[in-house]
Amino acid sequence: MTTYRIAPSILSADFAQLGNEVRQVVAAGADMIHFDVMDNHYVPNLTIGPMVCSAIRPLVDVPIDVHLMVKPVDRIIPDFAKAGADIISFHPEASEHIDRTLQLIRDNGCKAGLVLNPATPLDYLQHVMDKLDLILIMSVNPGFGGQSFIPHALKKIEAARAMIDASGKSIMLEVDGGIKVDNIAEVARAGADTFVSGSAIFNAPDYHAVIRQMRERLDTVTPRKTE
Ligand code: DX5
Ligand code: ZN
Protein backbone atom coordinates (compact mmCIF):
# COMPACT_ATOMS: atom_id res chain seq x y z
CA MET A 1 0.00 0.00 0.00
CA THR A 2 1.14 3.49 -0.79
CA THR A 3 1.59 5.72 2.24
CA TYR A 4 -0.03 9.03 1.38
CA ARG A 5 1.12 12.18 3.12
CA ILE A 6 -0.76 15.45 3.31
CA ALA A 7 1.50 18.49 3.74
CA PRO A 8 -0.40 21.72 4.44
CA SER A 9 1.45 24.79 3.17
CA ILE A 10 1.53 27.44 5.86
CA LEU A 11 1.77 30.07 3.13
CA SER A 12 -2.02 30.32 3.39
CA ALA A 13 -2.13 30.26 7.21
CA ASP A 14 -3.00 33.27 9.34
CA PHE A 15 0.49 34.58 10.13
CA ALA A 16 -0.75 36.54 13.11
CA GLN A 17 -1.68 33.17 14.66
CA LEU A 18 1.01 30.98 13.12
CA GLY A 19 1.79 28.88 16.17
CA ASN A 20 -1.87 28.00 16.71
CA GLU A 21 -2.39 27.40 13.00
CA VAL A 22 0.47 24.91 12.86
CA ARG A 23 -0.71 23.10 15.99
CA GLN A 24 -4.28 22.95 14.74
CA VAL A 25 -3.44 21.62 11.31
CA VAL A 26 -1.30 18.85 12.81
CA ALA A 27 -4.08 18.00 15.29
CA ALA A 28 -6.39 17.84 12.24
CA GLY A 29 -4.22 15.11 10.69
CA ALA A 30 -1.42 16.78 8.71
CA ASP A 31 1.54 14.46 8.08
CA MET A 32 4.10 17.22 7.52
CA ILE A 33 4.27 21.01 7.52
CA HIS A 34 5.18 22.49 4.12
CA PHE A 35 7.26 25.63 4.66
CA ASP A 36 7.49 27.93 1.62
CA VAL A 37 10.54 30.19 1.55
CA MET A 38 10.43 32.99 -1.06
CA ASP A 39 13.06 35.68 -1.61
CA ASN A 40 11.56 38.29 -3.97
CA HIS A 41 14.34 37.39 -6.42
CA TYR A 42 13.98 33.80 -7.59
CA VAL A 43 10.20 34.26 -7.20
CA PRO A 44 8.28 37.54 -7.00
CA ASN A 45 7.18 37.21 -3.39
CA LEU A 46 8.75 37.35 0.06
CA THR A 47 7.87 35.06 2.96
CA ILE A 48 9.60 33.47 5.93
CA GLY A 49 13.03 32.22 6.91
CA PRO A 50 14.93 30.09 9.45
CA MET A 51 13.83 32.16 12.46
CA VAL A 52 10.21 31.27 11.82
CA CYS A 53 11.18 27.63 11.25
CA SER A 54 12.92 27.60 14.67
CA ALA A 55 9.86 29.18 16.26
CA ILE A 56 7.40 26.54 15.04
CA ARG A 57 9.77 23.55 15.41
CA PRO A 58 9.02 22.89 19.12
CA LEU A 59 5.25 23.14 18.57
CA VAL A 60 4.78 20.01 16.45
CA ASP A 61 6.37 16.59 16.05
CA VAL A 62 5.75 16.07 12.31
CA PRO A 63 8.50 16.69 9.74
CA ILE A 64 9.02 20.25 8.48
CA ASP A 65 9.29 20.18 4.69
CA VAL A 66 11.18 23.30 3.61
CA HIS A 67 10.61 24.38 0.00
CA LEU A 68 13.32 26.88 -0.91
CA MET A 69 12.40 29.34 -3.65
CA VAL A 70 15.57 31.35 -3.17
CA LYS A 71 18.63 32.10 -5.29
CA PRO A 72 21.42 31.56 -4.46
CA VAL A 73 20.45 28.63 -2.30
CA ASP A 74 23.54 27.11 -0.64
CA ARG A 75 24.26 29.73 2.05
CA ILE A 76 20.88 29.39 3.74
CA ILE A 77 20.82 25.56 3.91
CA PRO A 78 22.81 25.11 7.16
CA ASP A 79 20.60 27.76 8.80
CA PHE A 80 17.46 25.76 8.00
CA ALA A 81 19.08 22.54 9.19
CA LYS A 82 19.87 24.23 12.52
CA ALA A 83 16.33 25.60 12.62
CA GLY A 84 14.97 22.04 12.62
CA ALA A 85 14.05 21.39 8.99
CA ASP A 86 13.68 17.67 8.19
CA ILE A 87 13.47 17.91 4.40
CA ILE A 88 14.99 20.69 2.30
CA SER A 89 14.21 20.99 -1.40
CA PHE A 90 15.34 23.54 -3.98
CA HIS A 91 14.93 24.42 -7.65
CA PRO A 92 17.77 23.37 -9.99
CA GLU A 93 17.72 26.85 -11.61
CA ALA A 94 18.68 28.32 -8.22
CA SER A 95 21.91 26.31 -7.84
CA GLU A 96 25.11 26.51 -9.88
CA HIS A 97 26.02 22.95 -8.81
CA ILE A 98 22.99 20.80 -8.18
CA ASP A 99 24.82 17.66 -7.05
CA ARG A 100 26.85 19.69 -4.57
CA THR A 101 23.75 21.39 -3.14
CA LEU A 102 22.03 18.02 -2.66
CA GLN A 103 25.12 16.75 -0.84
CA LEU A 104 25.22 19.91 1.30
CA ILE A 105 21.65 19.25 2.46
CA ARG A 106 22.53 15.65 3.33
CA ASP A 107 25.75 16.65 5.08
CA ASN A 108 23.61 18.92 7.26
CA GLY A 109 21.53 15.93 8.33
CA CYS A 110 18.39 16.62 6.28
CA LYS A 111 16.56 14.78 3.52
CA ALA A 112 17.15 16.35 0.11
CA GLY A 113 14.70 17.19 -2.64
CA LEU A 114 14.72 18.74 -6.10
CA VAL A 115 11.75 20.86 -7.27
CA LEU A 116 10.74 21.05 -10.92
CA ASN A 117 8.71 23.99 -12.21
CA PRO A 118 6.00 23.36 -14.82
CA ALA A 119 8.43 24.06 -17.69
CA THR A 120 11.50 22.42 -16.12
CA PRO A 121 12.34 19.02 -17.62
CA LEU A 122 12.67 15.80 -15.64
CA ASP A 123 16.18 15.41 -17.12
CA TYR A 124 17.59 17.21 -14.09
CA LEU A 125 16.81 14.11 -12.01
CA GLN A 126 18.63 11.59 -14.13
CA HIS A 127 22.14 11.78 -12.69
CA VAL A 128 21.24 12.56 -9.09
CA MET A 129 18.66 9.89 -8.24
CA ASP A 130 21.07 8.45 -5.63
CA LYS A 131 21.05 11.73 -3.72
CA LEU A 132 17.30 12.34 -3.77
CA ASP A 133 14.89 11.63 -0.92
CA LEU A 134 12.11 13.63 -2.54
CA ILE A 135 11.07 14.90 -5.95
CA LEU A 136 8.65 17.82 -5.93
CA ILE A 137 6.65 18.49 -9.09
CA MET A 138 5.22 22.00 -9.25
CA SER A 139 1.68 22.06 -10.60
CA VAL A 140 1.65 25.88 -10.56
CA ASN A 141 4.39 28.42 -11.22
CA PRO A 142 5.98 29.12 -7.85
CA GLY A 143 5.45 32.35 -5.95
CA PHE A 144 1.86 32.42 -4.76
CA GLY A 145 -0.79 30.30 -3.11
CA GLY A 146 -4.29 29.93 -4.48
CA GLN A 147 -3.42 29.30 -8.15
CA SER A 148 -5.09 26.69 -10.38
CA PHE A 149 -3.59 23.23 -10.92
CA ILE A 150 -1.89 22.97 -14.35
CA PRO A 151 -3.26 19.71 -15.86
CA HIS A 152 -0.08 19.00 -17.82
CA ALA A 153 1.60 18.24 -14.48
CA LEU A 154 -0.21 14.87 -14.43
CA LYS A 155 1.88 13.50 -17.32
CA LYS A 156 5.03 14.70 -15.60
CA ILE A 157 4.02 13.02 -12.34
CA GLU A 158 3.49 9.76 -14.25
CA ALA A 159 6.93 10.06 -15.82
CA ALA A 160 8.59 10.90 -12.50
CA ARG A 161 6.84 7.89 -10.91
CA ALA A 162 8.24 5.65 -13.65
CA MET A 163 11.75 6.99 -12.99
CA ILE A 164 11.43 6.36 -9.25
CA ASP A 165 10.08 2.84 -9.75
CA ALA A 166 12.86 2.05 -12.24
CA SER A 167 15.46 3.29 -9.75
CA GLY A 168 14.18 0.92 -7.06
CA LYS A 169 14.81 3.67 -4.51
CA SER A 170 12.49 4.97 -1.88
CA ILE A 171 11.96 8.55 -3.06
CA MET A 172 8.89 10.58 -2.09
CA LEU A 173 6.96 12.06 -5.01
CA GLU A 174 5.38 15.32 -3.89
CA VAL A 175 3.12 17.66 -5.85
CA ASP A 176 2.61 21.35 -5.02
CA GLY A 177 0.04 23.81 -6.29
CA GLY A 178 -3.72 23.87 -6.70
CA ILE A 179 -4.40 20.59 -4.86
CA LYS A 180 -7.91 20.29 -3.43
CA VAL A 181 -10.38 17.61 -2.35
CA ASP A 182 -11.67 17.42 -5.93
CA ASN A 183 -8.37 16.64 -7.66
CA ILE A 184 -6.23 14.90 -5.03
CA ALA A 185 -7.26 11.39 -6.15
CA GLU A 186 -6.36 12.13 -9.77
CA VAL A 187 -2.93 13.36 -8.66
CA ALA A 188 -2.46 10.19 -6.60
CA ARG A 189 -3.51 8.03 -9.55
CA ALA A 190 -0.76 9.69 -11.61
CA GLY A 191 1.72 8.40 -9.03
CA ALA A 192 2.17 11.08 -6.35
CA ASP A 193 2.32 10.08 -2.69
CA THR A 194 2.78 13.45 -0.98
CA PHE A 195 0.38 16.34 -1.45
CA VAL A 196 1.03 19.97 -0.62
CA SER A 197 -2.13 21.95 -0.09
CA GLY A 198 -2.28 25.53 1.11
CA SER A 199 -5.42 27.50 0.33
CA ALA A 200 -7.70 24.45 0.17
CA ILE A 201 -6.87 23.61 3.79
CA PHE A 202 -6.22 26.97 5.46
CA ASN A 203 -9.13 28.75 3.78
CA ALA A 204 -11.52 25.99 4.90
CA PRO A 205 -13.55 26.58 8.06
CA ASP A 206 -12.67 23.14 9.48
CA TYR A 207 -9.15 21.77 8.88
CA HIS A 208 -10.10 18.36 10.25
CA ALA A 209 -13.02 18.03 7.82
CA VAL A 210 -11.03 18.99 4.72
CA ILE A 211 -8.10 16.69 5.56
CA ARG A 212 -10.55 13.86 6.25
CA GLN A 213 -12.24 14.47 2.88
CA MET A 214 -8.84 14.38 1.16
CA ARG A 215 -8.06 11.03 2.82
CA GLU A 216 -11.46 9.65 1.81
CA ARG A 217 -10.67 10.55 -1.82
CA LEU A 218 -7.22 8.96 -1.49
CA ASP A 219 -8.86 5.79 -0.15
CA THR A 220 -10.63 5.41 -3.52
CA VAL A 221 -7.32 5.16 -5.40
CA THR A 222 -6.48 1.65 -6.57
CA PRO A 223 -2.90 0.69 -5.71
CA ARG A 224 -0.56 0.82 -8.68
CA LYS A 225 0.51 -2.41 -10.42
CA THR A 226 4.13 -2.08 -9.35
CA GLU A 227 3.19 -2.41 -5.68
C1 DX5 B 1 3.70 28.06 -4.42
C2 DX5 B 1 4.00 27.30 -3.15
C3 DX5 B 1 2.91 26.37 -2.72
C4 DX5 B 1 1.61 27.03 -2.42
C5 DX5 B 1 0.50 26.05 -2.57
O6 DX5 B 1 4.85 28.71 -4.83
O7 DX5 B 1 5.17 26.53 -3.30
O8 DX5 B 1 3.34 25.55 -1.65
O9 DX5 B 1 1.57 27.57 -1.14
O10 DX5 B 1 -0.68 26.73 -2.34
P11 DX5 B 1 -2.06 26.24 -2.95
O12 DX5 B 1 -2.35 24.89 -2.40
O13 DX5 B 1 -3.01 27.29 -2.51
O14 DX5 B 1 -1.88 26.21 -4.46
ZN1 ZN C 1 5.69 24.94 -1.86
| pLDDT tens per residue, range 28-58 | 999 999 999 999 999 999 999 999 999 999 9
- Reading across the β-sheet that carries 64-69, which strands appear in turn? 5-8, 194-197, 172-176, 134-138, 111-116, 87-90, 64-69, 33-38
Q: Residues with Cβ within 6 A of ligand 1?
A: 9, 11-12, 34, 36, 67, 140, 142-143, 145-147, 176-179, 196-200
Mean pLDDT (the chain, rounded): 97
Q: What is the pLDDT of residue 225?
A: 63
Active site residue 176: yes
User: Ligand 1 centroid to 14 CA: how many Å?
Assistant: 15
H-run or E-run covering 155: helix 153-167
Question: Which residues on neighbouring strands pair with residue 87, listed in sequence order?
Answer: 65, 111
Residue range 158-201, pLDDT digits in tens: 999 999 999 999 999 999 999 999 999 999 999 999 999 999 99
Overall pTM surpassing 0.85 (yes/no) = yes
Q: Among 112, 113, 125, which Cα is nearest to 156's?
A: 125
Q: What is the pLDDT of residue 224?
A: 76
Q: What's the pLDDT band for 140 if we cut at 50, 70, 90?
A: very high
User: Ligand 2 centroid to 165 CA: how many Å?
Assistant: 24
